[in-house]
Amino acid sequence: MAHLDYPSWLTLKDHAANVAPFSISKMFDDDKHRAEKFSLEAAGIYLDYSKNLITEESLKLFSAVCSEANLPKSISDMFSGEKINVTENRAALHTLLRSQQEQAPPQLKAEAKAIANALKKIESISKGIQNGEWRGCSGKKIVNVIHLGIGGSNLGPFMVDEALAPYRGKQFKDIQSHYIANIDGHHIKQTLEKIDPTETLIIIASKSFSTLETLANANTAKKWLLTYMDDAALEKHVIAITSNHEAAREFGVATDKILPMWDWVGGRYSLWSAVGLPIAIRYGFEVFSQLLEGAREMDKHFAESKMEENMPMILACLGIWYQHFFDANSHAVIPYDHGLRFLPAHLQQLDMESNGKSVRLDNETVDYPTGAIIWGGEGSNGQHAFHQLLHQGNRFVGLDFILPLKAHHDLQEHHDQLVANCFSQSQALLVGREMSSNSEFTKHKSMPGNRPSNTILMDQLTPQTLGALVALYEHKVFCQAVIWKINPFDQWGVELGKELSEAIYHQIKADNNTKRDHGNLDPSTSALISRYLDRT
């Protein structure tokens, strides 16, 4: 087992013990400039991290650990295409997807060219569908896009599509998009039965083109298309986004309808690639470019800012601080914006599939916490669901409140109330309330307070600020991985489940109502299979 042995680590640990009894409110009283000192603005994002159990000394120690972890070099290695995903011998170039291709470093010119070509295809497809040049087999315009994909091939584009809802139908007739991920037949059935295949485009997004769920949905969708058109017509209704060109061709996707995914882009980091095609189709290529631009701005901030002024590094260190020294094992993201209600789900995969690891790059098993449990939900709904635990529970939860200051609607009263609720939650967690009455339930009605939170603001939720926000979290995750010495870009942990599901599937299919010999399955799983078979 291996521990973190940065030279400053024990000092940080002692410092945490010193700070633990501090009152955050008293730190505000003692330093009138605290709110200003512990806030930061970059790429259209404003971070108020003053309501944290930290001092200026904490920041200095965070900075020392970041440099002792060689974080600047790791950042430069990532941007320059080093194969930092060592267990898959790959680079991690999601930042290149949104960079200005002409500024790509010499060693990445080929990748930059491939990205530029892919962006041209995204632009031409989206423009052709919007202006009606792209017609279906019966000559009708495409008005429905079904995006088939799961994990990073679904969560990113779906979250962005919902977040940008106010930008729908601005320039042209709104194209409906439908995201189907699960293999559960209910979703695809309910979707297909309500739309006309002759005006529908199916996008099959799968880096491997071997993910069970996506292939099952793709086959069902293809069968549905073929009840209304012949094979030849398919090429007007199917696009694949994959790194497995051969499998896509075998499926019947026309060569010129296959857009690339590269092995140097992880699924959970891929919304900036052709996986984001439904965004360009629905909102226009310009909006998709603005999304990339926002992420690029955050990349620049991340790559160029020293730790004390580096937003992703600060969020990363705060997460590590609470997990290692305050027993926080979860982190909640609470967007006070209906459009961002699916951001927590995207961040769950981004963070937990990246940092849910316990073996380090030096092959040692960690003896410390790594990836946090990420959860959350839209505010103000959470106040009527899980905020009770945040205020009176006994679990230390890392917290990010996210709030666009300007709404995309004119119901100012609603927005004023939303803003007041968001700010009141972080304030209530800070100050708490000691009930003075001597009623028998005084303790039940008191709130301890002194509970930290971050507040992340943007002037308005736009494609740019959305891109910057997502990139902020991507880089937070990366910084934590570097400090924890783990690889955030592989995901070996998902393989076993896939293999076992294959075996169980064949057990189910092979059943011929004779003796239920489920081989070497554990008795529980065997009994569950039998129960399923007996009842269907």
Q: Which is nearer to ligand F6P, 209 or 288 (CB)?
A: 209
The piece of 148-156, 288-296, 418-426, 435-443 that touches ligand F6P (CB under 6 A) is: 148-156
Considering beta carbons, is residue 91 or 314 the nearer one to ligand F6P? 91
Binding mask 410-449 for ligand F6P (x = CB under 6 A): ----------------------------------------
Mapped onto helix, strand or coil, the DSSP state of residue 252 is: coil
Closest distance of CB 347 from ligand F6P, Å:
14
Single out the residue of 81, 136, 151, 197 in contact with ligand F6P (rule: CB under 6 A). Answer: 151
Q: How far is Cα 527 from Cα 518, in angstroms, rounded to an integer?
A: 9
Which of these ranges, 2-10, 206-214, 251-259, 439-447, lies near ligand F6P under the rule CB under 6 A? Answer: 206-214
Beta bridge partners of 177: 145
**Among residues 153, 198, 348, 507, the one that binds ligand F6P under rule CB under 6 A:** 153
Q: At what angle do helices 285-304 and 109-130 cross, to 10 degrees?
A: 150
Q: Which of 126, 191, 206, 454 binds ligand F6P (CB under 6 A)?
A: 206
Kindly identify the residues of this chain, within the stretch 485-504, that bind ligand F6P according to CB under 6 A: 491, 494
Collapse the DSSP code of 89 into the 3-class scheme (helix H, G, I; strand E, B; otherwise coil) and give the result: coil
Q: Which residues of 139-153 are buried (b: 16+ CB within 10 A; e: fewer)?
A: eeebbbbbbbbbbbb
Q: Which one, of 154, 144, 245, lies nearest residue 201 by Cα?
A: 144
Q: Does 268 bind ligand F6P (CB under 6 A)?
A: yes
Q: Does 323 bind ligand F6P (CB under 6 A)?
A: no
Q: Is residue 267 close enough to count as binding ligand F6P by CB under 6 A?
A: yes
Residue 315 has a CB neighbour count (10 Å cut-off) of 24
User: Minimum distance between the CB of residue 220 and ligand F6P, rounded to whole angstroms?
Assistant: 16
Q: Which of 353, 387, 474, 518 is catalytic?
A: 353
Burial of 26 (0-12, 13-18, 19+ CB in 10 A): exposed
DSSP-assigned letter for residue 358: -
**Of positions 74, 101, 198, 214, contacts ligand F6P by CB under 6 A:** 214
Q: Is residue 51 near ligand F6P by the rule CB under 6 A?
A: no
Shortest distance in whole angstroms from residue 375 CB to ligand F6P: 18
Three-state secondary structure call for residue 459:
strand
Task: Check if the beta carbon of residue 336 is closer than 8 Å to that of residue 419.
Answer: yes
Residue among 39, 208, 427, 530 that touches ligand F6P (CB under 6 A): 208
474 a catalytic residue: no
Provide CB contacts within 8 A for 11, sequence distance 6+. 61, 64
**Choices 37-45, 122-130, 147-155, 318-326 (CB under 6 A): range interacting with ligand F6P:** 147-155
Candidate segments 70-78, 145-153, 164-172, 355-363, binder of ligand F6P by CB under 6 A: 145-153
Size of the site for ligand F6P (CB under 6 A): 14
Does 245 help bind ligand F6P (rule: CB under 6 A)? no
Stretch that binds ligand F6P, among 48-56, 208-216, 467-475, 517-525 (CB under 6 A): 208-216
- 133 given a catalytic annotation: no
| Residue of 152, 260, 371, 404 that binds ligand F6P (CB under 6 A) | 152
Q: Which residue among 32, 33, 384, 515 is the active-site one?
A: 384
Which amino acid, residue 294?
A: G
Nearest partner of 150 among 533, 415, 497, judged by Cα:
497
User: Alpha helix locations (H) across 243-342?
Assistant: 245-251, 277-283, 285-304, 311-325
* DSSP codes of every residue in 168-229: TTSSSPPPEEEEE--S-HHHHHHHHTTS-GGGEEEEEE-SSS--HHHHHHHHHHHHHHHTTS
414 among known catalytic residues: no
Shortest separation between residue 423's beta carbon and ligand F6P, angstroms: 35
Residues 325-384 that bind ligand F6P (CB under 6 A): 353
d(CA 128, CA 197): 18
Which tokens go with 277?
């095609």
Integer Cα distance of 357 and 40 in angstroms: 30
Using CB under 6 A, list all residues that contact ligand F6P: 150-153, 206-208, 211, 214, 267-268, 353, 491, 494
* Residues known to be catalytic: 353, 384, 498
